[in-house]
Amino acid sequence: MTSSPARPVLDRTFSVAPMMDWTTRDYRAFARTLTKRALLYTEMVTTGAILYGSPRERFLGYDAVEHPLALQLGGSDAGELAECAAIAEAWGYDEVNLNVGCPSDRVQNNLIGACLMAYPQKVAEAVKAMQAAVSIPVTVKCRIGIDDQDEDADLERFITTVADAGCEIFTVHARKAWLAGLSPKQNRDVPPLNYARVQRLKARHPALHIGINGGLKTLDDCAAELERVDSVMVGREAYQNPWLLADVDRRLYGVANPVAERMQAALALRPYIEQRLAEGARLNHVTRHTLGLFQGCPGGRQFRRHLSENSHREGAGLSIFDDALGRVKTPTAA
């Protein structure tokens, strides 16, 4: 079990979205070289994985540097979710979040993710049970609707039902999820964004914390949305262009950024890479998350190529990462 410092008071002004295969513990440690204040989320972890998987470290392990850190759960059984929330709190997580937004077939078949938007009472019961089991915040991430649901009436019914059960914090992906006819990948792009709907939700429920997610690509976008909602959550852009995170602390929290140059962030990650290699992790599992760091910089393409071609090799060590950094021409600040 990972030991952790005293839990911080959560300021969720800016967070990085939970993304399967992307927001692993290694990505989150890398993100912390760029921002100390953003709230980070795990990939979705199902209740079954936590309750029956072994070892639990595989699903719940993290490094203390990752705080503030939220665990996103996938499930629909109130008792199992409550048990997993209690486990998350015992492991030191700062928040537990219920996934009501993932559109994949696999989770639909297990009544997990976006399909739960059709069952607001079931979500309400789950949230109530989770809150009774823990003292940390229990939050919900959802869509503005699914399939032919009415984005106004059905979203209002969902939010009101779950809020009445005690949930005060919602992050809303400002797209519908089409469970019939679109793939999970298409569901991230094809349904149109409707920021205005999330903004109206906040206006109608001033006492609730309403955050927005979906399509945000710049900190200017984030700042504009923060004038109308309580928080912003950025997904793919924070992964593919991680340098976006490097000005979050100054711009959105009013404190100094941890690094001024990209090379500083890469060098700050070296001790973590060394630690993970000593634990038996493969180099490519850690460094794949850094491939976008030098995007647009002289030598950035060579950095990516060297890591991509060599980090997966048997016995690849820290020298491969250092060699890749040597391909970057100058430590670029922008």
Task: Look up 102 and say whether it is catalytic.
Answer: yes
Structure tokens belonging to residue 157: 């019914």
Phi then psi for 210, rounded to 5 degrees?
A: -120, 115
Alpha helix positions (H), the chain = 25-31, 47-52, 57-60, 78-90, 105-109, 120-133, 153-164, 184-187, 195-204, 219-225, 236-240, 248-253, 262-278, 283-287, 300-310, 318-326
Catalytic residue among 102, 142, 167, 222: 102
For residues 263-284, one letter each, b for 16 or more C-beta atoms within 10 angstroms of the residue's C-beta and e for the rest, the string is: bbbbebbeebbeebbeeeebbe
DSSP annotation of 157: H
Per the CB < 8 A criterion, the answer to whether 130 and 85 are in contact is yes
Catalytic residue IDs: 102
